[in-house]
Amino acid sequence: MASRHRSIRTEGVILRRRDFGEKDRLLTIFTRKMGRVGVIAKGVRNPQSKKSGHVEMFMRSSLLIAKGRNLHILTQAELIDAYGSLRESLVGIGYGSYVVELLDAFTYEEGSNLPLYKLLLNTLERLNEGRSPDVVLRYYELHLLDHVGFRPQLFRCVECEKEIVEEDQFFSGVLGGVVCPGCAGRLTDSRYRPITSQALKYARHFQRSPYPDLAGLQIPGRIKPELENVMGYYLTSMLESELRTPEVMGRIKANLVVRKEGERRTAD
């Protein structure tokens, strides 16, 4: 009977989980071999289940998946990395959840994407090692956008295509990048916002540099919130206009609030 299902051994990171029936869970997992998949984990809410404790949010696990016609079944799961340091604080859990929920929001079908999988693992590892979240997360956001085809244009005006000169600019989620001050004055769509030349310089640096070049970067205090807000604005614009998933956005925003509150507490 085994021939009815083709089993695949791979590994993946849990993006989402939802209770199903009495003892089961539906999981969304980003796997190395299949990309994003939905599976049912039978009996996993039973504490005696061998799978329980191996498939919680943002855990990396080795998996055996039986491919079904309609639904895949998770037959084995063994933890590879729980990113334990990240789980020790509410802020850390907020960061980990944000990372997987953003990926969940920007991917919507099966299909291997190894560079994106590696970006996901590296991001969770960097956060777990205590690297600067401002650097790790901005890098993650800009490179995730690259991998899913929503790379913002940061070097030319998206309206007139002229090269951006070093002065304060505008940024449009709808148009997908920077709008020069001349064009911004003529835009009838009000959905754009200012961006300082300094924040733009950092965003470009993040977009075109490999992570090792950024690892020691100190972002000036006043640029950090601006960059975070501009990226948050761009990501939600993309989700609103392209994917229309207000429910997912709501969860992402809720996580951002958790992170901010945690940061405020840490700063006290």
- Interface ranges with Zn ion (CB under 5 A): 157, 159-160, 180, 183
Q: How far is the CB of 182 from Zn ion (least distance, A)?
A: 5
Cβ–Cβ under 8 Å, residues 126 and 149:
no
Q: How far is the CB of 178 from Zn ion (least distance, A)?
A: 9
Q: Which of residues 156 and 260 has its CB atom nearest to Zn ion in the complex?
A: 156
Residue of 164, 200, 195, 169 lying closest to 184 (CA atoms): 169
Of 111 and 181, the one with the shorter C-beta distance to Zn ion is: 181
- By beta-carbon proximity to Zn ion, the closer residue of 175 and 183 is 183
Helix (H, G, I), strand (E, B) or coil at 206: helix
What is 127-183 written as a DSSP string? HHTT--HHHHHHHHHHHHHHHTT---B-SB-TTT-PBPPSS-EEEETTTTEEE-HHH
Q: Give the shortest CB-246-to-Zn ion separation in angstroms.
A: 31
Angstrom distance (rounded) from CA 46 to CA 81: 22
Q: Is 54 helix (H, G, I), strand (E, B) or coil?
A: coil
Q: How far is the CB of 165 from Zn ion (least distance, A)?
A: 11
Instruction: Kindly state the DSSP code that residue 211 receives in the 8-state scheme.
Output: G
Is there a contact between 80 and 117 (Cβ–Cβ < 8 Å)? no
The minimum distance between CB 138 and Zn ion, in angstroms, equals 25
Of 23, 25, 26, nearest to 46 by C-alpha is 23
Nearer to Zn ion, 4 or 186 (CB): 186
The tokens describing 89, both together, are 């604080």
Q: Which is nearer to Zn ion, 118 or 162 (CB)?
A: 162
> Least distance in Å: CB of 265 to Zn ion?
43
Tokens coding 161:
């295509």
Mark 52-87 as b/e (b = at least 16 C-beta within 10 Å). bebbebbbbbebebbeeeeebbbbebeeeebbeebb
Residue 41 to residue 105: CA distance in whole angstroms: 21
Q: Which is nearer to Zn ion, 185 or 221 (CB)?
A: 185
> At closest approach, how far in Å is the CB of 168 from Zn ion?
14
Minimum distance, C-beta of residue 191 to Zn ion, in the bound complex (Å)? 16
| 3-class state of residue 19 by DSSP | strand
